Amino acid sequence: MSTDAPRLRPPHHRVDRRAIRWWTTRSLAVTVGLTAPLVVPAVIWEAPRIWFLVAAGVVGGIGLLITFLMPQWRYRVHRWEVTDTAVYTSSGWIWQEWRVAPMSRIQTVDTARGPLQRMFGLSSITVTTASAAGPIEIAGLDHAQATEVAERLTETTQATPGDAT
C-alpha cells in the first residue's frame, strides 16, 4: 500500500456560515407545511377541534425544536476538504458519516443551486464516484467557492491516472 494513499480522517473546512440560515429556513418550511393542514380543520370543524389542535401542537413543537437545534448541530459537524489525492467529507446530524473519495475514483462533479440556496448565496457540490456507497455531497458552500472547488476537482481528476471504476 502506498504511503500517500488517502486515509479516512476528519476534513478541515466548515461549510459557509449562511448554511445555518438555509437549513433553518428549509426546516421551518417543512414544519409549517406539516402543521398547517392540522390547524385548518381545527378552525373549520367544531367537534374534533381539540384533536387537531393537539396534533398540530405536537407536530409544530417537535418541528420547531428540530428547526432551532438541527442547523447549529449540522454546522458543527459538516466539514469538507479537497486535496490533490482525495475529497474528504463529514456530514450528518444524528447519524454521522465520514467519507473519502480518491481522485482516481471520481466520475462526475456537479454543482446545484436550489431557490433557497440562491437566496442565501450558497451552492452544493455532488461528487459521483465508482462506489456502491453513492455520491458525496458538500452542501452549503459559498457559490463562488463551490465553483472554484468544482473546477479544481475537474482539473485534478482529469490529470489523475485511473479509470474511475
Residue type at 120?
A: F
pLDDT band at 162, cuts 50/70/90? low
**What are the domain boundaries of the chain?**
20-74, 79-159
- At 135, give phi and psi (nearest 5°): -70, 160
CB-facing half-sphere around the CA of 156: CA atoms within 13 A? 20
Q: Which three cell numbers stand for residue 35?
A: 402543521
CA-nearest of 86, 90, 108 to 99 is 90
Q: What is the pLDDT of residues 10-40, one digit of tens each?
A: 898 999 999 999 999 999 999 999 999 999 8
pLDDT number for residue 165: 54
Is 79-159 in CATH node 3.30.565.10? no
Mean pLDDT, range 119-127, rounded to an integer: 96
Q: What is the pLDDT of residues 34-85, one digit of tens each?
A: 999 999 888 888 777 888 899 999 999 999 999 999 999 999 999 999 988 8
pLDDT number for residue 94: 81
CA-nearest of 1, 160, 7 to 81 is 7
pLDDT number for residue 1: 42
**Axis crossing angle, helix 19-44 with helix 49-77, rounded to the nearest 10:** 180
140 three-state secondary structure: strand
pLDDT band at 6, cuts 50/70/90? low
> Against a cut of 0.85, is the pTM above it?
no
In this structure, the number of other CB atoms found within 10 A of the CB of residue 74 comes to 20
CA distances from 149 to 47, 80, 83, 84 (A): 58, 11, 10, 12
CA dist., res. 4 & res. 51, Å (int) = 61
Q: What is the pLDDT of residues 92-112, one digit of tens each?
A: 878 888 888 888 888 999 999
Report CA Rg, the chain: 20
Contacts (Cβ under 8 Å, ≥6 apart) of 51: none
Q: Is 163 a residue whose pLDDT tops 70?
A: no
For the chain, first and last CA: distance in Å?
19
CA dist., res. 106 & res. 154, Å (int) = 9
